[in-house]
Chains A and B, each alone.
Chain A
Amino acid sequence: MADSDKGNNLGLSLNRRGFIKGCTMVAAAMGLSEAMIPRMVEAAASAKRPPVIWLHFQECTGCTESLLRSSHPDIGRLILEIISLDYHETVMAAAGYQAEKSLHDTLDQYAGKFLCVVEGAIPTKDKGIYCQIGGRPAMEILAEVAPKAAAVIAIGSCASYGGVQAAAPNPTGAVGVRDLVSTTPIINIPGCPPNPVSFMGTVLHYLTFKRLPPTDKLGRPLFAYGRRNHDHCERRAHFDEGRYVEQFGDHGHRNGYCLYKVGCKGPGTFANCPTARFNDVDVWPVSVGHGCIGCTEPNFWDTMTPFYERLPGVKLPGSPVTNVDSAGKTVLGLAAAAVGVHAVVGAVKRIAQCKCSSNSSEEEV
C-alpha cells in the first residue's frame, strides 16, 4: 500500500484514507457488503480497545513475522489503535517481571473480556516440560489464561493442530489449542504462516459483530478457508486442459502450467492464498512456480510429504502400506499368479482323470 510505503511500518504514518482503505480490503476479503465498512471502521477506531494477550509456545515466530508484514491495517495501527496488545513476547517493550505483571494485570482486570491469541503448539508429554516460559509449562499458562478469555484465536498450524511439532513420532506430545481448551470459543487460523488478512479479518469481525465469524468443521473461518486453493487457482485452466509441469524447469514449468504432477496439494487444501495472496506483492507459492504444500490442513507434515509427489506416503494408523500403487500392483500380481496355478492344477487333474477313465472304460467320460 502506498500509505505504508511512505515510512516506517511501525510508525503512525497511516492517515484516515489509508485506514479506511485497509478496513475496506479486509471487508472484501471477508465477503462483507460495503454497507458494513462504516461499522467496521467505527469498531476498529473506537476508543475502547479490547486487550489482547498473545501467547508464544512451541513455534518459530513465523506467524508473528507474517503479521508484522500485514498492511490492512498494518501492525502499528493494529497494536496501537485497534487492539491493546498487553502481552506479546516478541513485540512488547516490557521484559521479565514487568512482562509477567502486565499479563496478570490484564487477566485480573479484563477477565472474560480480553482476546487470547495463541501461537505455537503445546507439548503435553512429561507434564509439558518441553516448553516453559518464566519457569511455567505452556500447558499451565494456557490453562490459566484461556478459560478467562472471551475467545481464543489459534494463529498458525501449530496452535491449530500441533503443526510440525506434532509430526510423527511427536516426541513432545505436542497438540493444538482445541485439544486442551473446551470452555472458551476457539477459532483456528492455520497456515505456515497464515495470511495476515485472515487473522486481521477475524479480529475485525470480532470487534464489529462482537462474535467470531462462522467456521467449518475444523474451526477455520469460512471467509478465508471456505474453498480449496485448487478451486480458485490461476493455473486451474491448465489443470482442466491437461497441461502439466512434468518436472521443475521443463517446458511446462516455464510456461506456467499446472503443478499437479509435481505434487501440488491445492486440491486438498482449504485456504484463500490464490485470492488474498501475500504481503502486498500479490504472490503465493503457485504464482511463483511451486506447488501448494497444504500447510493449512491438520497433520499436513505427515499427510502431505514428500511435497513433490502427488499422493505421497500418507500414514494411516497401523498400516504398513505407504506406496499404494506398488502395493496394489504386487497384490494384483500375486493374485494373478495364484489364479494361474489354480487353473493349471485343475487342468492337470482333469487330464489325469480323462486318462484314467479312458484306460478303465471307454464309455464313461
Chain B
Amino acid sequence: MSYETIRVWGVLLRLYHWALVISISALAVTGLYINSPWTGTTLEGVAAMPMLAMRNWHFLAACLFSGAVLVRIYLLLFGNRYERLGDLLPVTGRNLRNLFSTLLYYLYLNPNKEERMGHNVLAGMTYLLTLLVALFQVASGFFLRYAESAFWQGLGGAIFGSQQQARFVHHLLMWYFLLFALIHIYLVVWNEVKAPEGIISSIFSGRKFKERQH
C-alpha cells in the first residue's frame, strides 16, 4: 500500500492553531486565578504582585487569542479550499453526506472512514461554533477591560447588560473552551489511531497522507 502526501493546512492556519493552544492554556490558568486567587502574599513588603502579574499575562494572552480569531476569520474567507467556510458548513450534498458518515464512524456504526482531506463536517461545525463563542469571549473581555470606553460600553452593554453580567458570561464561556479542549484532544488521538492520514503531524507540517489509487 503506497501513500502520497497532500498539502492541506497553510502556514497561517497552523500558526492560528498553535496561538490558540498557547493563549487558551494561559487564559484559562490566569483567568481561574483572577476569578479566585488561590494563593496570595501575606508577607508585607515582598512586592511579588501575583495578581498584577496574572492580569498582565491574561491581557497579553488575550491579545494573542484575539489576533488568532481574526486570522481564522480571514482564512474562512480567503484561505485554501480546506480552510474556507464552504468546506465546513453542511450546505452541499457532499458535506451533508460527510456529516452523517462521520457521525456513524464516530459511533462505531460504520467501520470505514470517508476519505476527506480537510476537516470532516462535524469538526468543521464545531470549530465554527467555537469561533462564535470566541467572538463573545473577546467582546466580553474587552468590555470588562476597557469599561470606560464609550465604544465598548455601547457594544458590551447591548450584548451583555452590565459589567457583572459580562463577567458571568466570560467565566461561563471559559468552561466551553475547557470542554472543547478535552473532546478535541481525545478525538484527534482517536483519529490518529484509527486512520493512517497522520492527523497529528498535519498540524505541524501541514501535510496529510492519502492512499494512492491503483
Task: Report which A residues bind B (CB closer than 8 A).
Answer: 216-218, 226-228, 239-244, 251-252, 260-261, 265, 267-270, 294, 297-300, 303-304, 310-311, 314, 316, 321, 324-325, 327-328, 331-332, 335-336, 339, 342-343, 345-346, 349
Contact = CB atoms under 8 A, between A and B. Distances in A.
B35 A311 contact: yes
Nearest to B106: A342
Given A239-B51, A346-B190, A316 B169 contact: yes
B153 A328 contact: no
User: SS class of chain B's interface: helix, strand, loop or mixed?
Assistant: helix
Contact of B108 (A332, A339, A349): A349
Interface in B127-150: 147-148, 150
Contacts of A252: 42
Contacts, number: 113
A314 B165 contact: yes
27 contacts: A217-B157, A218-B157, A226-B148, A227-B148, A240-B51, A241-B47, A241-B50, A241-B51, A251-B42, A252-B42, A260-B37, A261-B37, A270-B147, A297-B162, A297-B164, A299-B161, A303-B165, A310-B35, A311-B35, A311-B171, A314-B165, A327-B175, A328-B174, A342-B186, A342-B190, A343-B190, A345-B108
Given A310-B36, A311-B168, A328-B172, A242 B50 contact: yes
A298 B161 contact: yes
A303 to B, nearest CB: 4
A297 B42 contact: no
B179 interface: yes
Given A240-B52, A241-B41, A345-B108, A332 B167 contact: no
Contacts of B44: 243
Contacts of B183: 335, 339
B45 to A, nearest CB: 10
Given A299-B162, A346-B108, A228 B49 contact: no
Interface of B: 35-37, 39-42, 44, 46-52, 108, 147-148, 150, 153-154, 157, 161-165, 167-169, 171-172, 174-175, 178-179, 182-183, 186, 190, 194
A244 B33 CA distance: 13
Given A297-B162, A303-B162, A242 B35 contact: no
B164 A242 contact: no
B36 A268 contact: no
A316 B165 contact: yes
A247 B111 CA distance: 58
A268 B164 contact: yes
Contact of A217 (B108, B154, B186): B154
Given A314-B164, A328-B172, A243 B150 contact: no
Contacts of B178: 328, 332
Nearest to A255: B44
Contact of B167 (A216, A311, A335): A311
B175 A331 contact: yes
B59 to A, nearest CB: 14
Given A310-B36, A316-B169, 18 more contacts: A241-B46, A241-B52, A242-B40, A242-B48, A243-B44, A260-B37, A261-B36, A267-B163, A268-B162, A268-B163, A298-B161, A298-B162, A303-B164, A311-B167, A314-B165, A327-B175, A332-B178, A343-B186
A244 B35 CA distance: 13
Query: Most B CB atoms within 10 A — which of A241, A251, A328, A332?
Result: A241
A297 B168 CA distance: 15
